[in-house]
Structure 1
Amino acid sequence: MSAPRKYRKLGDFYRYYTGQKRAPVLTLVVGGNHEASNHFWELYHGGWLAPNIYHMGNVGCVQVNGLRVLGLSGIFNAGDYKLGHFERLPYDGATLRSIYHVKMFDAFRASLLSPDLPIVVSHDWPQNIAHYGDLQTLLKSKPGLKADIDSGKLGSPPFMYLIKSHRPRWWFAAHHHVLFEATVPHDEVGTQTRFLALDKCIPKCHYLEVMEVDTPQPTTPSGTPTLAFDPEWLAITRALHPWFSSTMTQQELPSVADARALVAKELEWVENHIQKSSDGCIRVEDWQEFAPVAPGHDPDNETSSSNEQPPHYLNPQTTAFCKMLGIEDKVNT
């Protein structure tokens, strides 16, 4: 994990991983820049981090009761953006950081989604989003952001591209540890994207906000929301998989027109080859099931060294996802 040494303290997530605790509601997760990147890499395509806690992968689109949600992990770094997914354990000082930097391959795949995207969740902010809200109040809380805001370096350019091209209704983010709201108007009359970033999850900080959003499908009688794969996203994953690079060099991506044609073809494959549940959804639970792959933390046994890097664990959820789509598992190679 990339973090100053003083912050490298184990919290209580391991209790959810080992089953001692369970999240009371379905929780969708994206990765930031201070997570266990090795574990998130095991679930590059998405998967359960613990019962009822679902990681959306480096980039991924799912449906919650039919409502599309796009998840975007990581932060932007211009120097690493055009690289492939070359990072492998054991990480050095450079790859410990580049592994959570947004890659062009993933941003391109996200851009191929159709514009019907009600909700986007990211860690990083879209570039220049600070100019669409109360900039002066933001700078009072975070004066250290001024230089990057003035230079246009604050935030992710591909994320702002998605706001402009896909016009989501809501965009939720984190990263800068401050409450910030903004509204991005679009050319189409009456359309806008509302942006909300929240503070750290600590006392006296504004880290929680409740939103009510209508969903196309009702919640099940048990009160449990239905989490399903988005068929178009599955088609994009199949269509672009040949361009997934496991080396530092990212091969040249296809043109947008060629990529969209491939996605249309693969969407037919998804419709014809992946079995749906009785409600017409491709339920995540039918293909991926949480199972611990690494030993859970034992607070009574503190013998392991904090300087030791763990081995790579083959995660069966990634294997199952790739099998569902009939693609090579490049994460575990």
Structure 2
Amino acid sequence: RDARDLECMSVPDKYKTLGTFHRYFRGERRAPVPTLFIGGNHEASNYLWELYYGGFVAPDVYYLGHSGVVRFGNLRVGGLSGIFKGNDYRRGHYERPPYKRGGEVKSAYHVRQFDVDKLRSVREPIDVFLSHDWPRGISRYGDQADLIRKKRFLADELRDNSLGSPPAEELLHALKPRYWFSAHLHVKFAAMVRHGDGSATRFLALDKCLPRRDFMQIVDVPDRDPTGGFALDREWLSILRCEHGRHSVTRHPAPPRPDPTALKSRLAEHRAWVDGNVGESQLAPPGFETQPAPRGDEDGAGEKTSGAAPNPSARNPQTVRLMEMLELDFKLDLDPGGG
């Protein structure tokens, strides 16, 4: 959004230069097509934390959240942001902008078990799933030898099956989406995962967005109609309500989940609440509110941060409205404490 956000990105200083996104954020430009994305490991984590549950980062550019499910017409898309690091997986979301404590600018985008737990509760079919790092073991379902030829430094991890995300691997086989798209490794790779129930998942990763690289592919999803655009998903809203009380915003792990029978009952109760209290018109995500340029940064393209103070955490209006609709308390700016 501005030079200050760059201090909340995990990149070498030489890359802390504004591009063109701030113009979309301010409404000076507009995305030519509706765009949906997840977080990886080089975004402004402070802005994505404001939209932890998902929301528009600019007009027609929708962030799926740290984990989430959303509809576009009758296409159902799920996703998991960030990358897997075992040391942080079971911790709560303790990081707060401007990430003053050492390492927080990196750990802020590490996948948490709590966000995976929510996706484990999804039962309705997923058409497309997005993750940044690859599901562990996915190379076994494609041309692994060709992948090693392209990325020789990955050979040992591929052969001992340590490359990729174990939680994403679990979700791949549990959710069985029709398509799964990943990034992170900057190489094109396709695979077909056939599941025991006869269904299959088509996996695709693409290369880095550079000249003469395979970074774009058009995929047609049969039997899906985009009419209506983005919409919140009732099952996912039910899961958000059900799990909200477990969300740890300190270093401490989220409390254990209830046993499967109790969890199923609780999810059904929250689904009944959503169906009874959230009307169809409320499923349209809260709209983006165009923001003015920060003072002194009216034309920041190309500027570096030069040690600019990071933006403080703010309550994003979209997140506030979502919490109000679901009758949930706002947790994202609570004091994480020192634990």
Same fold at TM > 0.5: yes
Query: Which protein, 1 or 2, shows the higher relative CO under an 8 Å CA cutoff with sep ≥ 6?
Result: 2
Deviation at 1:306, TM superposition (A): 3.4
**Structure 2 counterparts to residues 38-187 of structure 1, below 5 A:** 38-91=46-99, 92-187=101-196
Letter in 1 for 2:111: V
Which residue of structure 2 aligns with residue 308 of structure 1? 309
Contact 2:72–2:226, Cα closer than 8 Å, also in 1? no
Deviation at 1:300, TM superposition (A): 5.8
Percent identity of paired positions between Structure 1 and Structure 2: 40
Letter in 1 for 2:211: P
Contact 1:126–1:157, Cα closer than 8 Å, also in 2? yes
Which residue of structure 2 aligns with residue 323 of structure 1? 324
**Cα distance between partner residues in 2 of 1:264 and 1:8:** 46
**Cα distance between partner residues in 1 of 2:52 and 2:247:** 12
- Asked if 1:262 is matched to 2:263, the reply is no
Letter in 1 for 2:229: T
Q: 1:28 aligns with which of 18, 36, 45?
A: 36
Contact 1:236–1:263, Cα closer than 8 Å, also in 2? yes
SS state at 2:148 partner: helix
Unmatched segments (≥5 aa) in structure 1 = none
Contact 1:125–1:156, Cα closer than 8 Å, also in 2? yes
Deviation at 1:289, TM superposition (A): 3.2
Deviation at 1:192, TM superposition (A): 1.1
**Structure 2 counterparts to residues 173-212 of structure 1, below 5 A:** 173-189=182-198, 191-212=199-220
Q: Structure 1 239/293 Cα, relative in aligned 2: closer, same or farther at 3 Å?
A: farther
TM-score (normalised: structure 1): 0.91
SS state at 2:130 partner: strand
Letter in 1 for 2:47: H
Which residue of structure 2 aligns with residue 243 of structure 1? 246
Which residue of structure 1 aligns with residue 291 of structure 2? 292
Which residue of structure 2 aligns with residue 16 of structure 1? 24
**Cα distance between partner residues in 1 of 2:67 and 2:289:** 19
Per-residue Cα deviation, 1:146-180 (whole angstroms, up to 9, x for no partner): 23223332111111111111211100010111101
TM-score (normalised: structure 2): 0.90
Letter in 1 for 2:280: K
**Cα distance between partner residues in 1 of 2:48 and 2:21:** 14
Deviation at 1:115, TM superposition (A): 4.7
Moved more, 125-134 or 7-16: 7-16
Letter in 1 for 2:183: A
Letter in 1 for 2:266: L
- Asked if 1:228 is matched to 2:231, the reply is yes
Per-residue Cα deviation, 1:9-54 (whole angstroms, up to 9, x for no partner): 2211111111111001110010000000010001000010100000
Letter in 2 for 1:228: A
**Cα distance between partner residues in 2 of 1:47 and 1:213:** 24
Moved more, 288-297 or 245-254: 288-297
Deviation at 1:126, TM superposition (A): 0.4
In the alignment of these two chains, the number of paired residues is 322
Contact 2:70–2:232, Cα closer than 8 Å, also in 1? yes
Unmatched segments (≥5 aa) in structure 2 = 1-8, 335-339
Contact 1:60–1:233, Cα closer than 8 Å, also in 2? yes
